[in-house]
Amino acid sequence: MTSLAISYDDVAQAHERLAGIAHRTPVLRSTTADARTGASLFFKCETLQHIGAFKIRGAYNAVAQFTAAQRAGGVVTFSSGNHGQAIARAAQLLGVHAVVVMPKDAPAMKVAATEGYGGEVVRYDRYAEDPALIIERIVAERGTTFIPPFDHPHVMAGQGTAAKELFEDAGELDMIVTPLGGGGLLSGTATVARYLSPRCEIIGVEPEAGNDGQQSLAQGCIVRIETPKTIADAAQSRSLGQHTFPVLQQLGARVVTATDDQLVETMKFFAARMKLIVEPTGCLGAAAVFNGQLDVRGKRIGIVLSGGNIDLARFAALVGA
């Protein structure tokens, strides 16, 4: 048993549960990226995942474990897009009604996809309203079950399956790097890394404008910030979670940041050199590696490209700037 919210066994069980649901996404290489960094880089392309992001892993793992009563009552969550799409799709696959509370400025394609999967979208102002209060009202009125975007053991375990596959396909790694918002992906990744490759460094990368995770690990407690203004919309979390923070703290994760300008340049690299559309949040890990925030020379580095959901007009505007 472990005092933390999840163990490697939870991730392994989630991986079995996701068989036939989540794609086993490819691990791609780039000689140009290797030459640029002096490292051997292994990109886990969750941009090619079902719903276009890793979030289906945690969402399906959570909803699939609902009781009959919970399935009848439905599921509710809040999300800037990727988790919302994932919950809507998981619920659709399992015959459960989904309500997704989304910011008014969420990318249009993410809203459309969530509705396309049968999700009921409720909008709010992310800079003026607390989505938790909206969730509380919906739960009280409808009897739905709340599955948060990151701070839930089943979500965390599901997200860790991406790292499990990365280690299986790439082999031993000196460092594994993921984007960091609320910590669901990084906590699942840390759990896998400590089990499969104990000496591997575990790195999360946040937007420079919203480094609450970096502050939290430095201060030894959860630091809450105002919603950061960044193009990395899927990493605009205000704080780490009560479940995710202890995992990151106890398993020795480290956090660095990347600027919006670095994210744009990284988006351009993936589009031009690897023919991949990666959303800004998905570029966080690679941006930190490309721009020298991490000592990677001579090492084997796993990087999770977490998603590729971005409006084409927005993508063109950013990479064409």
Contact (Cβ atoms closer than 8 angstroms) between residue 50 and residue 303: no
* Set 79, 80, 237, 239: catalytic member: 80
One-letter amino acid of 125: D
Q: Which residues contact 142 (CB under 8 A, 6 or more apart)?
A: 73, 74, 76, 99
Tokens of 70: 């919970």
Tokens of 221: 């407690």
Q: Indicate if the alpha-carbon torsion angle 204, 208, 213, 218 is positive or negative.
A: positive
**CA 232 to each of CA 81, 96, 130, 134, 196: distance values in angstroms, whole numbers, following the listed order:** 12, 30, 19, 23, 30
d(CA 12, CA 9) in angstroms, rounded, equals 5
Which of 28, 239, 269, 33 has the alpha carbon at shortest distance from 130? 239
Contact (Cβ atoms closer than 8 angstroms) between residue 255 and residue 180: yes
The DSSP 8-state label assigned to residue 226 in this structure reads P
One-letter amino acid of 28: L
80 catalytic per annotation: yes
* Set 55, 187, 216, 237: catalytic member: 55
Q: Indicate if the alpha-carbon torsion angle 246, 102, 210, 316 is positive or negative.
A: positive
Sheet holding 75-78, edge to edge: 120-124, 98-103, 75-78, 145-146
d(CA 221, CA 58) in angstroms, rounded, equals 25
Rg (CA), the chain: 18
d(CA 205, CA 21) in angstroms, rounded, equals 28
- Active-site positions read 55, 80
